[in-house]
């Protein structure tokens, strides 16, 4: 494996498009947070961050413009803890000395990591946050007997943590996947200034029992609920014109072994087409589970990987100046790629901390980045018996979130709701509570 020089390195394949589309509306910034049982001590958190920063040099970088591609350059500045904000995932400058592609925020008992997708994906970000929380708790007296996959601040970085795993597993002879057309999207106006966030916390035990009653895993169940909620919005609008297709990111490390802390994800995209007839919820669950099972075959994922890498290696595109690439990549992403999905649901799965640390953490939350095209998207993460389901939206309309939680509650799962826009959600919260 070739190791990039410490002073600079290329963006991974998944990150190449993000600098071209990043801006105030599409920030590429997502958020993972941990809520502790006690208020955060800022001095101790700053010390933990400084120690972890030395262990993760591939995160201590800023973005630079090259003639043909963007690249990361080593940043000698000091990362600092920031106050949290009611409006999360906002755009921030990651170019130039002293700038970083991530930030650590704190408020009350919450520690939050906001990071640009240019730097890493949900799996890499969660590993970093878990390591930061573990170090913070260790400095407070918690004993950590085994780090397992956590990043030990006193250890040396593994060169594989900075690899572009897409490039490692590229196979030129494999054909790319078939192209798909546009999907239906809710016709709602976009708010340019606020990111509306609703988190529903549920019992993991209850959610697993519900999924088991349908004979599926949790993610297909939640995706089917997402489709049901989208279909409610579709029929309310009277516009049954396209299929409903949900993007479900996949952690490729589960299929192609790698310890990379950079982006290494692809996706599956289950769909239903209401134009051909009505589908019961039971049918949606079975269809989604079957499509996801087929899409998660290693050979099918390899086809998506080849398509992504193939465009990067196109000899014509490689010699096109970066400014022209930006225009091409932004156009393809906004006008061709994103319109193929009605929304997205990303599940980071069950997350663990060392046993000595677990009792000090209440729950984790995962918030996807703002997207003015799909508008309303969902992030899911589980810690112990608390599963957090976060809907984040730039749309004014709350139909999808409301219908999703109504369906969950009507299935017997109690939901504890939290939002950053109480005044707009009060009636919907009352509806969900009454359904209990």
Convert the pLDDT of each residue in 317-376 to its tens digit.
Answer: 777 888 888 888 888 887 778 889 999 999 999 999 998 898 999 999 999 999 988 899
The answer to whether domain 8-168 and domain 196-435 are alike in fold is: yes
Exposure string (b/e) for 309-319, b if CB count within 10 Å is 16 or more? bebbeeeeeee
DSSP class of residue 376 equals E
Domain positions in the chain are 8-168, 196-435
Cα-based distances in Å from 397 to 79, 201, 237, 400, 401 = 37, 21, 12, 8, 9
CB 346, CB 19: distance < 8 Å: no
> What whole-number distance in Å separates Cα of residue 51 and Cα of residue 130?
14
CB 88, CB 195: distance < 8 Å: yes
pLDDT band for 224, please (50, 70, 90 cuts). very high
pTM of the model: 0.92
| Residue pLDDT, tens place only, 262-303 | 999 999 999 999 999 889 999 999 999 999 999 999 999 999
> What whole-number distance in Å separates Cα of residue 121 and Cα of residue 266?
10
- 196-435, CATH topology level: Chloramphenicol Acetyltransferase (3.30.559)
Alpha carbons within 13 A on the beta-carbon side of 391: 29
Question: Can you read off the two tokens belonging to residue 5?
Answer: 């020089």
pLDDT band for 1, please (50, 70, 90 cuts). very low
> What whole-number distance in Å separates Cα of residue 383 and Cα of residue 399?
28
pLDDT band for 233, please (50, 70, 90 cuts). confident
pLDDT band for 433, please (50, 70, 90 cuts). very low
Question: Can you read off the two tokens belonging to residue 275?
Answer: 């134009």
Pairing of strands 244-251, 343-350: parallel
Would you tell me which CATH number, out of the four given (3.40.50.720, 1.25.10.10, 3.30.559.10, 3.20.190.10), belongs to the domain 8-168?
Answer: 3.30.559.10
CB 128, CB 261: distance < 8 Å: yes
- Residue 436's pLDDT is 36
Cα pseudo-dihedral 426, 431, 435, 436, rounded to 10? 10
């Amino acid at each position: 494996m070739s190791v990039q020089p410490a002073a600079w390195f290329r963006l991974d394949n998944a990150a190449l498009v993000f600098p071209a589309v990043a801006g105030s509306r599409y920030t590429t910034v997502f958020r993972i947070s941990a809520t502790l049982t006690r208020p955060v001590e800022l001095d101790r958190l700053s010390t933990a961050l400084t120690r972890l920063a030395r262990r993760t040099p591939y995160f201590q970088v800023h973005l630079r413009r090259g003639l043909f591609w963007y690249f990361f350059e080593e940043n000698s500045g000091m990362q600092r803890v920031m106050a949290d904000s009611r409006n999360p995932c906002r755009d921030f400058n990651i170019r130039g000395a002293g700038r970083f592609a991530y930030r650590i925020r704190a408020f009350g008992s919450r520690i939050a990591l906001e990071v640009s997708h240019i730097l890493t994906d949900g799996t890499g970000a969660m590993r970093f946050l878990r390591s930061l929380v573990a170090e913070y708790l260790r400095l407070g007296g918690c004993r950590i007997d085994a780090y397992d996959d956590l990043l030990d601040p006193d250890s040396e970085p593994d060169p594989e943590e900075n690899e572009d795993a897409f490039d490692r597993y590229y196979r030129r002879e494999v054909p790319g996947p078939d192209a798909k057309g546009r999907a239906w999207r809710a016709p709602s106006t976009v708010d340019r200034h606020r990111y509306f966030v609703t988190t529903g916390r549920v019992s993991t035990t209850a959610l697993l029992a519900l999924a088991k009653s349908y004979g599926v895993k949790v993610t297909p169940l939640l995706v089917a609920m997402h489709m049901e909620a989208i279909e409610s919005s579709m029929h309310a609008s009277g516009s049954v014109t396209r299929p409903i297709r949900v993007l479900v990111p996949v952690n490729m490390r589960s299929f192609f072994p790698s310890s990379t802390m950079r982006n290494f994800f692809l996706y599956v995209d289950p769909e239903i087409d209401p134009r051909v007839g009505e589908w019961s919820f039971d049918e949606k669950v079975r269809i989604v589970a079957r499509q996801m099972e087929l899409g998660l075959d290693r050979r099918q994922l390899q086809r998506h990987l080849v398509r992504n890498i193939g465009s990067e290696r196109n000899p014509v595109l490689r010699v096109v100046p970066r400014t022209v690439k930006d225009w091409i990549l932004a156009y393809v992403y906004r006008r061709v790629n994103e319109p193929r999905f009605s929304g997205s649901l990303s599940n980071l799965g069950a997350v663990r901390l060392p046993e000595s640390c677990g009792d000090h953490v209440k729950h984790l939350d995962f918030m996807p980045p703002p997207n003015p095209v799909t508008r309303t998207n969902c992030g899911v993460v589980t810690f112990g018996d608390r599963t957090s389901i976060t809907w984040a939206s730039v749309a004014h309309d709350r139909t999808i979130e409301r219908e999703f939680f109504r369906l969950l509650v009507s299935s017997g799962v109690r939901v504890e709701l939290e939002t950053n826009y109480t005044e707009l959600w009060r009636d919907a919260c009352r509806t969900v509570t009454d359904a209990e």
